[in-house]
Structure 1
Amino acid sequence: MIEIDNKVVSSEIFEKKFCCDLPSCMGMCCVYGDSGAPLTPDEAITLEKILEQVKPYMTSEGISAVNEQGVAITDTDGDLVTPLIDGKECVFTIFENGIATCAIEKAWNDGKIDFRKPISCHLYPIRAKEYSTFTAINYNQWDICKPARDLGNKLGIPVYKFLKDALIRAYGEEFYHQLEEAEKLLSLQSNEK
């Protein structure tokens, strides 16, 4: 573990390799899981505000689920998350050429909204957990992401480098620069052994 400001960072984000391989995994992280994408309260408010701009990108099933459940629900663990369609994919999941993608991000790509997607989705496979005095930043290894681990290993891309944009969005450029410095120190330490 490495501590940067009030963040405790798992060394796995430097050691493990990762690079999404959508043609292989088919975007199944949007489909499988016990609940929807974790949201902050501010993100739930934002989703309410941008819903009309996102709806044209959504499936009819997704729109029906949002009309019934809203853009955010509390799951069985007490966490705020996006709702699911029939207990399966996130309500914002769309399929393009058989690959699950995000209606929110598609609207963002088209310049319709200025919110890219929930930060939990953007940061994946990092999971951040807020505690009263610090934020824990951990690597989450999920079976369906095996193609991403394989491609990351082949290309030699550490998790944190793959997630550069997301980490900067979440915590700022200075934090990302400190991650780069931490990786250098870890590399020196491992070379000295």
Structure 2
Amino acid sequence: MIAIDNVLLSDQIITDQFVCDLTSCKGACCVDGDAGAPLDVKELKNIDEVFNEVLPYLRKEGIDEINKQGRYVYDKEFGWVTPTINSKLCVYGIYDENGVVKCGIEQAYLDGKINFKKPISCHLFPIIVKKSKDGVTELANYEPREDHCKAACSLGKKLKVPVYQFLKEPLVRKFGAPFYEALDATAQHLKKQP
């Protein structure tokens, strides 16, 4: 484990390699799971604030589910999450011309309509961050899906890109630039170890 500030990170975040390969997985992380995407409490407000700009990007099925369930729902096991369609596709999921699931929120962001990129849990995946029992320490683990992420793990190895480097933007977004610099320095130090 690596400890930086109040965050404990699994070693695999710096030792393993990963680069998303959407042509292979087709955005399966937006479809497959036990619930929708976990949301920080502050993200509920973000979703409410950008919802009208995101709405034109969404699929009819997603809009229908939002009308039934709401823009977010509370799950006993995971807390606040995005709703899903038939316990599968996230209501904010959209398909591109190649059948790849993308995020309607992120597409609105990329088009300059909003300033909220997407839920941080989505942005960080396959790093999953949870609070420890003390409520202060955060636990960051590298948890790629064995089946869906196989191509991303292979591509990461081929390109020699560590998980933490591939996920630099969301790590900085979640924990800040000084945290990322400390993580990078730790990785560089460990690389020099015999």
In structure 2, the CA distance between the partners of 1:78 and 1:154, relative to structure 1 (3 Å rule), is closer
State the match for 2:120 in structure 1: 119
State the match for 1:92 in structure 2: 92
**Cα deviation digits, residues 1-59 of structure 1 (max 9, x gap):** 01111111111101111000011111111111111000011101211121111000000
State the match for 1:43 in structure 2: 43
User: After TM superposition, which residue ranges in structure 1, 4 or more long, deviate above 6 angstroms?
Assistant: none
Amino acid at match of 1:134: T
Counterparts of 2:51 and 2:65 in 1: how far apart (Å)? 13
Name which of 179, 186, 191 aligns with 1:175.
Answer: 179
**Cα deviation digits, residues 93-129 of structure 1 (max 9, x gap):** 0000200000000000001000000000000110111
Instruction: Report the CA distance between 1:78 and its aligned residue.
Output: 4.5
State the match for 1:138 in structure 2: 141
Asked whether 1:157 is paired with 2:168, we answer no
Higher mean alpha-carbon deviation, 2-11 vs 72-81, is at 72-81
Counterparts of 1:175 and 1:64 in 2: how far apart (Å)? 40
Amino acid at match of 1:109: L
Counterparts of 2:29 and 2:172 in 1: how far apart (Å)? 22
Contact 2:38–2:78 (CA under 8 A) maintained in structure 1: no
State the match for 1:19 in structure 2: 19
Higher mean alpha-carbon deviation, 14-23 vs 40-49, is at 40-49
The secondary structure found in structure 1 opposite 2:84 is: coil
Amino acid at match of 2:161: I
Unaligned runs of at least 5 residues, structure 1: none
1:41-120 alignment, distance < 5 Å: 41-96=41-96, 97-120=98-121
Unaligned runs of at least 5 residues, structure 2: none
Counterparts of 1:119 and 1:167 in 2: how far apart (Å)? 9
The secondary structure found in structure 2 opposite 1:115 is: coil
Contact 2:105–2:117 (CA under 8 A) maintained in structure 1: yes
TM-score by length of 2: 0.95
The secondary structure found in structure 2 opposite 1:3 is: strand
Contact 2:131–2:139 (CA under 8 A) maintained in structure 1: yes
RMSD over aligned Cα atoms: 1.0
Name which of 147, 151, 159 aligns with 2:151.
Answer: 147
Instruction: Report the CA distance between 1:76 and its aligned residue.
Output: 4.1
| Count of residue correspondences | 190
